[in-house]
Amino acid sequence: MQNWVFDLGAVLLEWNPHAIVSTFTADVDQQKILIREIFLHPDWLAMDCGRLAEVEAIPRAAGRTNLKHQDISALFDIVRESLTVIPASVAILENAKAKGRLLYCLSNMSTENYAYLRNKYSFFDYFHGAVISGQENTMKPEKKIFQILLERFALNPEETLFIDDRPENTRVAKEFGMSAITFSDNSECYAKISNYLSS
């Protein structure tokens, strides 16, 4: 597989909303409200799709949670800070680069979060291209964003490996003819990915 396409959250970067809200507050009831009204709310998907700016989402979330605007803003800052590198995954990325694979990124993420992460982590320089949902007004598992990836970078699906933590996303990738691995942060999954480096 010449082309390797990586998701970001829960593949290269930690993503744990429950840990995020527990960092924000020790109140278990409030944690449940935040999970429901922030991360499981349609506004979160709208931000990921680029249809709602963070500055617009903050007062809406404040209204749903009875928190102050500055509290929601602080929570969104915690979200960004929580997106830390998964070392074993970045090691795979580096090994693939060293082996001459062409690396790409396909991720559901708001433009604000992506801009922050792109500036923070040097591994983004390994990518030959990135398709971010917040910039495209579409998101996985919608087929349109996969078409954008393949067409923009002229990728042959039969030469492309897609790595994502969501089975609904890897399923669509396979429909396009890509090889796909549903990622889990464990040795078995890393071994499966590494096998593609020796083939």
The predicted-structure confidence for 11-51, as pLDDT tens digits, reads as follows 999 999 999 999 999 999 999 999 999 999 999 999 999 99
Cα(188)–Cα(199) distance, rounded to whole angstroms?
17
Tokens representing 86 are 């998964």
Which residues make Cβ contacts (< 8 Å) with residue 106, sequence separation at least 6?
5, 6, 7, 130, 131, 140, 145, 146, 149, 162, 164
Residues 6+ away with beta carbon under 8 Å from 19: 82
For residue 89, which amino acid is it? S
151-160 tens-digit pLDDT? 999 999 999 9
Residue 109 burial by CB count (10 A; 0-12/13-18/19+): exposed, middle or buried?
buried
Q: How many residues does the chain have?
A: 199
Residue numbers in the chain where pLDDT is lower than 50: none
With beta carbons less than 8 A apart as the criterion, state whether 172 and 146 touch: yes
pLDDT at 117: 98
Q: How far, in whole angstroms, is CA 116 from its chain's centroid? A: 13
Q: What is the pLDDT of residue 199?
A: 67
CB 196 within 8 A of CB 41: no
Largest separation between any pair of C-alpha atoms in the chain: 54
Locus of tokens 């001459």: 100
Report the chain's terminal Cα–Cα distance, integer Å.
8
- pLDDT score, position 171: 98
Q: According to the model, what pLDDT value does residue 198 have?
A: 83
Phi, psi for 54 (deg, rounded to 5): -60, -40
Q: Which residues pair with 85 in a beta bridge?
A: 13
> Encoding tokens for residue 93?
């990325």
Nearest to 113 by CA among 41, 4, 39: 39
Query: What pLDDT was estimated at residue 54?
Result: 97
What does pTM read for this prediction? 0.96
The encoded tokens of residue 152 equal: 């923009």
What is the C-alpha separation between 2 and 158, in angstroms, rounded? 9
